[in-house]
Structure 1
């Protein structure tokens, strides 16, 4: 899917936003769904199976959001640790609900094999506004670095810090949507005072591996499992997906740590970011959630088998 170039209604072309533009943008954001109803209630239903850890709390203009993680109740220091994250971009719905679906339906299968740390919704304010950014117009998924400007990212970094060196796996669940081109990329260009260059949205699921540590058989195991649930994104005419070379069917690579991506928050052996396309006429919201859960299962199965 490709969109024509459009001008963004906030800011002056060629000039990055100041406080006035950020305030104008924030004034336009509206709560559209409930983190408490959709996410916290689902976590509450899992309290008999997991330890629920509050690893931080956001206070945004008088609204308070607890940051919650699900932790294996049978945690053992001799087992590897697997991190599952969703909702780093709050608008990417299946990342949140795919993580919860895995926790509810599949996590028990890994008891005694791995310690699970599941963070279903890293960005609850963004979840409620169906937005990519936090309330300060900052993308948490470019903020996983020292002195992070995004509290969502900083809190997750504090959560994983005591377990660094023990992570076998990190899978970060995302979506690529039509709104990336209709709203979020134009907004990014306007915020940073840069020209907006239209792109193409891939139709289907793909993964983003770490260019420093690609682990292509691992990436392919995830792709193969998800292909049984939903369709895999093909390369475009240039052999690319979102501007990056396809190195294996449905797989591209990013330098995740240098970009400050959530996928670089650990030193796990196996790392991937999933991307589904919920706006495709060939899929449904439930299928997207199922694809995310299937990706987590496949990632764990491969990592635990390969070691």
Structure 2
């Protein structure tokens, strides 16, 4: 029965032929249907530029999707000291995941100054500004940047971030990548992925609450627990489903699952940081507000850095 429903959902895709992967014509048709729904310049770029009085702003690339271009900006500690460990914060790898962007900006605006002299900070609030404006998971080529952090990546967003981070790859102590899991994952993005790849859409479940994705190869369970404990003071933690899983992966601790980050080409794999995690906030929960989601992301960043610095001491 589930297979029948899956094929029905696939067949309703307005682009392409069910069961046939998209080619360039289908990608072009999809891109033509994407419209700007909000302003990166007004909502994000302006906020980043306002931080320039206290922080160094580094333009590490320019996203070019004619007729649109976007500066790619990182926020960096002004008093950078080579002897200090580095903390990397990334947000907006998926442009539609709003609290990842604004949670990163909140952390810098309200809390980052307290780490001066203890850690070098590099914060990239919005990796995918084209997708931010269109409230989408993919870039303009219908590719997921968060499966594209690989050597010689064809994805502008991913390749530019990897070039920025490469000189720090072995010096980053902690990297926290800020994401959301939304109802639109199930209603829009997963069906679109199935249509793009010419496969059946298999329905899943959206967990109600915050969770983390650690690294299967080096899970650092105490670190993940510390971040969960901090976020639990702000918003609720996602429970395991009836199979003891979250989004199809076994729950290894309350609110924690693990992925093979590097094998999947995920953003959290781009350094050799000892401590790394991906946050997943659930903004569509009736038990959470946008304010809580932004605060949860900021709290997660602070807890991650605090744990890493304490462990190193």
TM > 0.5:
yes
Post-superposition shift, 1:24? 1.2
Post-superposition shift, 1:12? 1.2
2: CA distance between counterparts of 1:180 and 1:11? 20
Name the structure 2 match of 1:202. 207
Name the structure 2 match of 1:161. 166
Confirm or deny: 8 A CA contact 2:169 2:270 kept in the other structure. no
CA offsets 1:118-168 (integer angstroms, 9 cap, x no match): 000000000000000000001000000011021000000000011121010
2: CA distance between counterparts of 1:142 and 1:34? 25
Extract structure 1 runs of 4+ deviating beyond 6 A: none
Name the structure 1 match of 2:152. 147
How well do the aligned residues superpose, as a CA RMSD in angstroms? 1.0
2: CA distance between counterparts of 1:211 and 1:92? 24
Confirm or deny: 8 A CA contact 1:87 1:95 kept in the other structure. yes
2: CA distance between counterparts of 1:163 and 1:222? 23
Alignment of 1:133-144 (within 5 A): 133-144=138-149
Q: Indicate yes or no: 2:232 matched with 1:233.
A: no
Q: Indicate yes or no: 2:141 matched with 1:130.
A: no
Q: Indicate yes or no: 2:294 matched with 1:289.
A: yes
TM-score, normalised by the number of residues in structure 2: 0.96
Post-superposition shift, 1:20? 1.3
Q: Indicate yes or no: 2:223 matched with 1:218.
A: yes
2:81 alignment partner, one of 49, 73, 76: 76
- Going by fraction, where is helix more abundant, 1 or 2? 2
Confirm or deny: 8 A CA contact 1:207 1:219 kept in the other structure. yes
TM-score, normalised by the number of residues in structure 1: 0.98
1: CA distance between counterparts of 2:79 and 2:220? 29
2:304 alignment partner, one of 273, 286, 299: 299
3-state SS of paired residue (2:51) = coil
Aligned residues, how many? 305
3-state SS of paired residue (1:165) = coil
3-state SS of paired residue (1:173) = strand
Confirm or deny: 8 A CA contact 2:94 2:131 kept in the other structure. yes
3-state SS of paired residue (1:234) = coil
Unpaired segments ≥5 residues, structure 2 = none
Post-superposition shift, 1:9? 2.2
1:173 alignment partner, one of 163, 178, 185: 178
2: CA distance between counterparts of 1:262 and 1:195? 27
2: CA distance between counterparts of 1:181 and 1:141? 17
Q: Indicate yes or no: 2:64 matched with 1:64.
A: no
Confirm or deny: 8 A CA contact 1:138 1:149 kept in the other structure. no
Name the structure 2 match of 1:252. 257
